[in-house]
Amino acid sequence: MRMRRLSPEASPVDPAEEYAYPSGPASGPARPWLRANMIASVDGAATYDGRSGGLGGETDRRLFSLLRVLADAVIVGAGTVRAEGYGPARPDPAWERLRADRPATPALVIVSRSLRLDLDAPVFTAAPPDAPTIVLTTETADPGRLRAARDRAEVVTAGDDDVDFPTAVALLAGRGYSRLLCEGGPRILSQVAGADLLDELCLTVSPLLAAGASPRVLDGPPLPAPSGLRLAGALTDDEDFLFLRYVRRR
* pLDDT above 70 (res 194): yes
* pLDDT above 90 (res 8): no
Stretch 157-166: mean pLDDT: 94
d(C-alpha 187, C-alpha 131), whole Å? 25
- Greater pLDDT, 23 or 3: 23
Q: Which helix (H) or strand (E) holds 193?
A: helix 186-194
d(C-alpha 92, C-alpha 99), whole Å? 10
DSSP classification of residue 88: -
Contact, 247 vs 230, CB < 8 A?
Answer: yes
Confidence grade of residue 3 (pLDDT, cut at 50, 70, 90): low
Q: Which helix (H) or strand (E) holds 34?
A: strand 33-41
Confidence grade of residue 29 (pLDDT, cut at 50, 70, 90): very low
- Percent pLDDT > 70 in the chain is 95
* pLDDT above 90 (res 107): yes
Q: Which helix (H) or strand (E) holds 246?
A: strand 242-248
Q: What is the phi-psi region of residue 87: left when phi exceeds 0, alpha when psi lies from -120 to 50, beta otherwise? A: beta
Stretch 133-138: mean pLDDT: 97
d(C-alpha 219, C-alpha 185), whole Å? 8
Specify burial of residue 120 (Cβ count, 10 A radius: 0-12, 13-18, 19+).
exposed
Three-state DSSP state, 63: helix
Which residues, at least 6 apart from 64, have a Cβ–Cβ distance to it below 8 Å?
Answer: 37, 56
pTM, 2 dp: 0.92
pLDDT at 11: 76
Three-state DSSP state, 167: helix
Helices (H) and strands (E) in the chain, counts: 7, 9
| Tens digit of each residue's pLDDT (9 = 90 or more) over 108-135 | 999 999 999 999 999 999 999 899 999 9
d(C-alpha 239, C-alpha 37), whole Å? 19
pLDDT at 24: 56
Contact, 206 vs 39, CB < 8 A?
Answer: yes
Contact, 91 vs 104, CB < 8 A?
Answer: yes
d(C-alpha 18, C-alpha 66), whole Å? 11
Specify burial of residue 81 (Cβ count, 10 A radius: 0-12, 13-18, 19+).
buried
Prior bond to 185 cis, omega within 30? yes
| Tens digit of each residue's pLDDT (9 = 90 or more) over 214-249 | 999 999 999 888 889 999 999 999 899 999 999 998
Using DSSP bridges, classify how beta strands 179-182 and 73-77 pair: parallel, antiparallel or unpaired. Answer: parallel
Share the mean pLDDT of the chain: 91
